[in-house]
């Protein structure tokens, strides 16, 4: 009997590539669609080196409905979708809101429209803790209020969640699981795949590892006068492989269980908050490499502190983020060394 086939949109991207490996190792067949706007084709080699299987790949844009018709017709039958494909740079979304609304929403709507036609049963959606804004208290669980978005990017995640909810409430014959990621970091322990930021990284870990590698002179810590123990912001940093594993469990639950609700929402985090300074210390401890840093001004729009209550995912999915942060930092560093030496 053929394996169940999953469509992974954005599957050559950072979280997508790690998830493809976990899906393959769990026995799923994978077809990736990616327009390579924020990733490159070489990622397929990395995936193949880990799993021994080259996923089917369609270079295309999910905002183009014809591409999707062709994909479902020629690469089916597809039983489930994981929709990673989206633009994700918060600052850029403020400058180019239409690009973000079009790319992140039209792609999703195309998928939702075609799923029933092609017999696709479920879709896992990449949402974000950004929907919670600045939490009233931490840790934060799924029942916490959604706060007004502070960027067009964040708004696309809120609107996407609403679109999926409305479509399911309208009786579409599909299921969905919305996964709210906290801060994904690290790389595959094999260093075959990892995060590949284009240009100057906006996120903490790639900036930190590039600084440690000597590519950038110093990391600027954005503010040390917050109301936190050491004054720097607090986040819930989750290992990307732990995050990837959750997608496999979510997919299995959607496709194999007939007793679950058609729409479910889970926080994916460790449940532990770490400050920016603690993360730098973890990196230095884990790798023995010093990170030159300076304290700078606060970054506009930053959340002071947020970390997950992952109890629902722990109990309902039977999943937890177990990788030790020092191990995650070692993986991030191993990946950075590999990328630096490839240049
Ligand atoms: P990424 O940019 O590495 O991956 C996204 C992939 O989608 C890229 O390979 C890109 O080329 C592709 N893509 C973009 N638009 C497309 C389109 N219209 N058609 C086809 N392919 C397209 O990002 P990531 O960090 O892996 O994030 C994956 C998802 O998770 C995104 O939806 C993102 O918003 C969400 N998310 C990410 C984070 C994070 O910190 N990385 C946190 C919360 C949520
Ligand atoms: C983490 C902490 C910075 C860079 C963003 C998006 C969010 C989500 C994940 C998708 C903050 C500090 C950073 C630097 C620093 N993405 N920092 N110096 O802001 O939590 O979340 O990515 O949904 O929507 O907003 O992540 O990695 O940018 O920052 O001091 O050079 O590191 O101020 O406190 P963030 P981040």
Domain of 212, CATH number, reads: 3.90.25.10
In a domain, 42, yes or no: yes
Instruction: Enter the tokens of residue 236.
Output: 């819930």
Q: In testing the pocket of ligand 2, which one of 13, 38, 90, 157 has its CB within 8 Å of the most ligand atoms?
A: 90
In a domain, 43, yes or no: yes
Quick check: CB of 80 below 6 Å from ligand 1?
no
In a domain, 194, yes or no: no
Based on the fold, state whether residues 230 and 251 are members of the same structural domain.
no
pLDDT of residue 164: 98
pLDDT of residue 342: 79
Q: Which ligand is nearest to the CA of 267?
A: 1
pLDDT of residue 255: 97
Segment (H or E) for 281:
helix 276-287
Above 90 in pLDDT, residue 158? yes
CB atoms within 10 A of CB 328: 28
Based on the fold, state whether residues 72 and 215 are members of the same structural domain.
no
Mean per-residue pLDDT, 26-36 = 98
In a domain, 314, yes or no: no
CA-based torsion, 293, 297, 300, 306: positive or negative: positive
- Helix segments in 189-290, DSSP class H: 204-212, 240-256, 276-287
In a domain, 261, yes or no: yes
Based on the fold, state whether residues 249 and 284 are members of the same structural domain.
no
Quick check: CB of 233 below 6 Å from ligand 2?
yes
Based on the fold, state whether residues 182 and 282 are members of the same structural domain.
no
Based on the fold, state whether residues 54 and 161 are members of the same structural domain.
yes
Which of the 8 DSSP states describes residue 56? E
Based on the fold, state whether residues 182 and 295 are members of the same structural domain.
no
CATH of the domain at 73: 3.40.50.720
Above 80 in pLDDT, residue 202? yes
Average pLDDT, the chain: 97
| CA 202 from centroid of its chain's CA atoms | 15
Give me ligand 2 centre to Cα 204, in Å: 6
Above 70 in pLDDT, residue 1? no
Based on the fold, state whether residues 164 and 219 are members of the same structural domain.
no
Based on the fold, state whether residues 241 and 281 are members of the same structural domain.
no
Q: In testing the pocket of ligand 1, which one of 9, 10, 65 has its CB within 8 Å of the most ligand atoms?
A: 10
Please check whether residue 222 is in contact with residue 275, taking contact to mean a CB–CB distance below 8 angstroms. Answer: no
Quick check: CB of 183 below 6 Å from ligand 2?
yes
What gap in Å lies between CA 227 and CA 76, rounded to an integer?
52
Enclosing domain of residue 215: 204-235+271-307+323-342
Give me ligand 1 centre to Cα 128, in Å: 12
Above 70 in pLDDT, residue 146? yes
Based on the fold, state whether residues 121 and 225 are members of the same structural domain.
no
Mean per-residue pLDDT, 235-242 = 98
In a domain, 143, yes or no: yes
Residues with Cβ within 8 Å of 52's Cβ and at least 6 positions away in sequence, in order, are: none
- Number of structural domains found in the chain: 2
What gap in Å lies between CA 80 and CA 225, rounded to an integer?
46
Above 80 in pLDDT, residue 31? yes
In a domain, 82, yes or no: yes
Above 90 in pLDDT, residue 2? no
Based on the fold, state whether residues 67 and 170 are members of the same structural domain.
yes
Mean per-residue pLDDT, 200-225 = 97
In a domain, 133, yes or no: yes
Q: Strand, helix or coil at 26?
A: coil
Based on the fold, state whether residues 302 and 170 are members of the same structural domain.
no
Question: Looking up tokens 């964040």, which residue turns up?
Answer: 154
Give CA separation, 45 vs 40, 54, 274, in Å.
10, 7, 34
pLDDT of residue 343: 66
Provide the annotated active-site residues: 153
Over the stretch 97-115, which tens digit does the pLDDT of each residue have?
999 999 999 999 999 999 9
Above 70 in pLDDT, residue 165? yes
What gap in Å lies between CA 157 and CA 153, rounded to an integer?
7
Give me ligand 1 centre to Cα 231, in Å: 31
Over the stretch 46-79, which tens digit does the pLDDT of each residue have?
999 999 999 999 999 999 999 999 999 999 899 9
Mean per-residue pLDDT, 242-263 = 98
Based on the fold, state whether residues 106 and 182 are members of the same structural domain.
yes
Above 90 in pLDDT, residue 21? yes
Over the stretch 291-322, which tens digit does the pLDDT of each residue have?
999 999 999 999 999 999 999 999 999 999 99
- Its pTM stands at 0.98
Q: Which ligand is nearest to the CA of 243?
A: 1
């Amino acid at each position: 009997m053929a394996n169940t086939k999953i469509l992974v949109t954005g599957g050559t991207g950072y979280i997508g590539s790690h998830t493809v490996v976990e899906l393959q190792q769990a026995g799923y067949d994978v077809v990736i669609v990616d327009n390579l706007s924020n990733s490159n084709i070489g990622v397929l080699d990395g995936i193949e080196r880990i799993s021994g299987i080259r996923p089917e790949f369609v270079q295309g844009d999910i905002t183009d409905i014809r591409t999707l018709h062709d994909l479902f017709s020629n690469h089916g039958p597809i039983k489930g979708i994981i929709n990673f494909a989206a633009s994700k740079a918060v600052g850029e979304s403020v400058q180019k809101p239409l690009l973000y609304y079009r790319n992140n929403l039209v792609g999703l709507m195309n998928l939702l429209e075609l799923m029933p036609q092609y017999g696709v049963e479920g879709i896992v959606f990449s949402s974000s803790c950004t929907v919670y804004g600045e939490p009233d208290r931490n840790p934060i669980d799924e029942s916490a209020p959604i706060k007004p978005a502070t960027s067009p990017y964040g708004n696309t995640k809120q609107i996407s969640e609403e679109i999926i909810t409305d479509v399911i409430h309208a009786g579409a014959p599909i299921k969905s699981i919305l996964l709210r990621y906290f801060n994904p970091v690290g790389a595959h322990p094999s260093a075959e795949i990892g995060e590949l930021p284009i240009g100057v990284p906006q996120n903490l870990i790639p900036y930190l590892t590039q600084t440690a590698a000597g590519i950038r002179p110093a990391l600027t810590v954005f503010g040390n006068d917050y109301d936190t123990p050491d004054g720097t912001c607090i986040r819930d940093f989750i290992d990307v492989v732990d995050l990837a594993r959750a997608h496999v469990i979510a997919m299995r639950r959607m496709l194999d269980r007939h007793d679950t609700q058609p729409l479910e929402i889970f926080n994916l985090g460790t449940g532990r908050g770490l400050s920016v300074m603690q993360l730098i210390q973890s990196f230095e401890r884990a790798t023995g490499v010093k990170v030159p840093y300076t304290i700078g001004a606060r970054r506009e729009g930053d959340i002071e502190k947020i970390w997950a209550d992952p109890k629902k995912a722990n109990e309902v999915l039977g999943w937890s983020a177990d990788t030790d942060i020092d191990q995650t930092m070692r993986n991030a560093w191993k990946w950075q060394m590999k990328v630096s030496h490839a240049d």
